[in-house]
A = this chain, B = another copy of it.
Amino acid sequence: MIRLLLADDEHLIRTALAQLLELEEDLTVVAQAASGDEVVAVARAESFDVAVLDLQMPGRDGISAATELLRLQPGCAVVIVTGHGRPGHLKRALSAGVRGFLPKTTSAATLASVVRSVHAGGRYVDPELSAEAIAAGDSPLTPREADVLELAADGAPVDEIARRASLSPGTVRNYLSSAVTKLDAANRHDAAATARRLGWI
């Protein structure tokens, strides 16, 4: 019997998913969590064979929760499930030691079989998401450019970005300008949108 931890902030989805996984003969959901922090708390108290985590959760996200969970329970296999697959997320997830990565558009049968396969030591990444990740490639942004672009993403003016990043306004503009050029964007917002879409910020 494979013991599962299931985490998703949407109660309806989480219980429905639990129900569905319980239908499988060899799977049992022994704990649920509604946030990344709960995942960590539960992981301190109990042990699991496989954790199925939603990527987007309030507070600590799925990847961050996975990192902490794997520190506490190195033997636990982690599967990330996500609504919208961003290439950068996949990369971060894999480097965090996540063994499975699926969009929510996959079928229940696939989820169950992925749970079994990661429990057996295998890995599984949705083919479409991995293709996207390969196509997107690595971020061309330098760390500082990414920082600045992230601060610019919500439409803050240059002066505020400069204050928050402890930079001079001129430098901020230079970083923004080079980011816009590198991402082949029309303006900083376009650049931020692109970078976010590809998971680079």
Interface of A toward B, CB cutoff 8 Å? 9-13, 15-17, 19-20, 23, 81, 83, 102-108, 111, 154-155, 157, 186-190, 192-193
Tell me if B189 and A105 are in contact (CB < 8 A): no
Is the pair A20, B16 in contact by a Cβ cutoff of 8 Å? yes
**Residue ID in chain B nearest A157 by CB atoms:** B187
CB pair B155–A189 under 8 Å, yes or no, is yes
Instruction: Report the Cα distance A188→B156, complex, angstroms.
Output: 10
Q: Are B155 and A12 in contact (CB under 8 A)?
A: no
Docked Cα-Cα span, A192 to B105, in Å, equals: 30
Q: When A and B form their complex, which 7 residue pairs have the shortest distance between CB atoms, in order from nearest?
A: A155-B189, A16-B16, A10-B104, A16-B20, A12-B104, A11-B105, A16-B17
Q: How many copies make up the complex?
A: 2
A105 near B10: Cβ-Cβ < 8 Å: yes
A61 nearest CB across to chain B (Å): 15
Q: Is the CB of A108 within 8 A of B15?
A: yes
Please tell me which one of the listed residues B9, B105, B155, B190 contacts residue A193 in the complex, with CB atoms under 8 A apart: B155
Q: Closest Cβ of chain B: how far from A41's Cβ, in Å?
A: 19
Inter-chain contacts of A106 with B (CB < 8 A): 11-12
| Complex-state Cα separation, A128 to B137, whole angstroms | 43
A17 to B188, CA, bound (A): 40
Give complex CA distance A13, B10 in Å.
Answer: 11
> What separation, in Å, do the CA atoms of A108 and B104 have in the docked complex?
19
- Does the CB pair B12–A105 fall under 8 Å? yes
Which residue on B lies nearest to A186, using beta carbons?
Answer: B157
How far is it, in angstroms, between the C-alpha of A21 and the C-alpha of B83 when the chains are bound?
A: 22
- A19-B111 Cα distance, complex, nearest whole Å: 15
Is A23 a contact partner of B19 (Cβ separation < 8 A)? yes
